A = this chain, B = another copy of it.
């Protein structure tokens, strides 16, 4: 019987990762060093940003090393604490949860889970990183005006589903780009005015332009790739593009992304294209979380989760999220 089956990174994928890039190996339950907590994992989050770290190249954060236990966002219960700020039994979130049942995490990375009427795993979705990303990318970086058209790619995903609903709450005009008709229907239930299924579209630029008859004022780009190109062609003067994610590049990480470059279009529209990282907004997390929780309590935020179960399923959950096969926030329940 395994004591602490842990997913170890064994190779860097050159394109789309597969379960073979990791091996499940037993590890002892870790001891908490000074300033650390040992936590029992309840939920793990798999997120697009992790693809960027399974790479030897420089990124905004250090990459995972071969032989390391993979780690990411999670929720767990403190088993032992070597920090004055936490005690056994506390429920915490952290971005340092290993892909394993028991992890040692730095206490400084942990946050006590706030009591609210939302299910605890919402701290990994709409009350956590994806929700905050949607909030800041839309309201602090793009800053749409009331009535402006906001195109959102990966619109039913963890970030997109929240971004679309915030856009509706704030009186913007949200338009979805998704990967299936089923996702599109759900986006309309969330409050997206309309949308485009990029997988069934035979002329993405035309379909995006038709869905945005007044042009695109703001584009929340969660994917890069062909959807970005289609959006650029319909961008209005002084349009704002926020580059939140590049998941369409997940299967070509070691190759440059080759395609149409829209610098001329950027000049003509005086567009602003801006890269986004959530960490830059840390000082405002509290305000944003309060807003998100308030919308949740008013029944204004619907969310959808896509849950796999068991530590064995983590790489599978990660890869299906990268491929866009998930429908809603991809989580793993242990």
Q: Hey, which bits of chain A sit against chain B, CB under 8 A?
A: 52, 59-60, 221, 224, 228, 243-246, 249, 256-277, 280
Contact = CB atoms under 8 A, between A and B. Distances in A.
Contacts of A59: 268
Contacts of A269: 60, 275
Contact of A264 (B249, B258, B260, B272): B249
A276 B256 CA distance: 27
Nearest to A239: B275
B272 A277 contact: no
A141 to B, nearest CB: 9
A64 B274 CA distance: 33
Contact of A270 (B246, B256, B271, B276): B276
A58 B190 CA distance: 36
Contacts of A272: 272-275
A31 to B, nearest CB: 35
Nearest to A267: B275
27 contacts: A52-B264, A59-B268, A60-B267, A221-B263, A224-B264, A228-B263, A243-B263, A243-B266, A243-B267, A245-B267, A246-B263, A246-B264, A249-B264, A256-B260, A257-B260, A257-B264, A258-B258, A258-B259, A265-B275, A266-B274, A268-B275, A270-B277, A271-B274, A271-B275, A272-B273, A272-B274, A272-B275
A280 B267 CA distance: 12
Which of A243, A267, A274, A276 has the most chain B CB atoms inside 10 A of its CB?
A267
The main secondary structure of chain A at its interface with chain B is: mixed
Identical subunits present: 2
A276 B280 CA distance: 26
Contacts of A249: 263-264
Given A257-B263, A270-B274, 10 more contacts: A243-B266, A257-B260, A257-B261, A257-B264, A259-B261, A268-B275, A270-B276, A271-B274, A271-B275, A272-B273
A260 B270 CA distance: 21
Contacts of A257: 260-264
